[in-house]
Amino acid sequence: MHIPNGFLDPTTAAATAAASSGMLVYGWDRLRREISQQSPITLGLVAAFIFAAQMINFSIGHHTSGHLIGAMVAVAVCGPWAAGLLMAAVIAVQSLFFHDGGTIALGANIFNMAVVATAVSYYVFNAVMKKTGSRSLAMAVGAWLSVVIASAAAAFELAFSSTAPLQDIVCAMLSWHSLIGIGEAVITIPSAAFLYKFAKETQASLQVKRYAEK
């Protein structure tokens, strides 16, 4: 899902960079009110999990690849604002130091995986929790949809940039990421449980209790 350099036109790259920058600034403003409640160890552990999960890539054609995202885990353990910033930091490190995703497309990659996937995870988690009361089901549905919708966003960006025909790229991305999303849902539940247990033992934060103990 990491878009490389040369696959987005200047307009799409600039628009997604502007959108990502605006959301990250807003997210940082919100997080500043909560940062004292966050355990640096927990944040680092979640970031390491996301980094490792995203390094496993599957080629799916049309110059694209699929992989786990980890947004639902980050939201469940850290809350949405910390999760978005952690995701953005991981994606930036991957691009700048490991050449996983282009620097010109960095804004789009952050938008898809740190903004869209995190927002979908958060809102779907809360909606399913409200309906069912099941934290595991809420995380599973949130994880699956976060992968599918983030992949759809990437597909539309590539299509708008004339990298591939819209129908072809959307079908390829959604079909493969629907399967990858199942894997993400399965991995998310035990991963979030382990990270939450660790956070609770280290007296991590009220954010953890708010989002992962519902």
Q: Does domain 10-202 bear CATH number 3.30.300.130? A: no
Q: What tokens appear for 76 in the block?
A: 């469940």
pLDDT band of residue 134 (cuts 50, 70, 90) is very high
3-state DSSP assignment of residue 61: strand
Q: Calculate ∠ Cα 162-2-68, nearest 5°.
A: 130
Of 184, 180, 146, 143, nearest to 64 (Cα)?
Answer: 180
Q: What is the pLDDT of residue 195?
A: 81
Residue with the larger pLDDT of the pair 89 and 1: 89
Please name the residues in contact with 179: beta carbons below 8 A apart, sequence gap of 6 or more.
Answer: none
Residue 212 has pLDDT above 50, yes or no: no
How many Cα atoms within 13 Å fall on the side-chain side of residue 72?
36
How many Cα atoms within 13 Å fall on the side-chain side of residue 135?
16
Q: How far apart are CA 33 and CA 42, in angstroms?
A: 18
Q: What is the pLDDT of residue 130?
A: 94
> pTM of the entire structure?
0.84
Q: What is the pLDDT of residues 73-129, one digit of tens each?
A: 999 888 899 899 999 999 999 899 988 889 999 999 999 999 999 999 999 999 999
Q: Per-residue pLDDT averaged across 144-155, rounded? A: 95
What DSSP character marks residue 34? T
Q: What is the pLDDT of residue 44?
A: 81
Q: What is the pLDDT of residue 106?
A: 96
pLDDT band of residue 61 (cuts 50, 70, 90) is low
Q: What is the pLDDT of residue 127?
A: 96
Of 97, 113, 89, 107, nearest to 28 (Cα)?
Answer: 89
3-state DSSP assignment of residue 103: coil
Q: What is the pLDDT of residues 165-209, one digit of tens each?
A: 888 889 888 988 898 899 889 989 998 888 877 766 654 444 444
* Range 24-30 contact pairs with CB under 8 angstroms and sequence separation of 24 or more: 24/84, 24/85, 24/88, 24/110, 24/114, 27/80, 27/81, 27/84, 27/85, 28/81, 28/85, 30/81
At 32, the amino acid letter reads: R
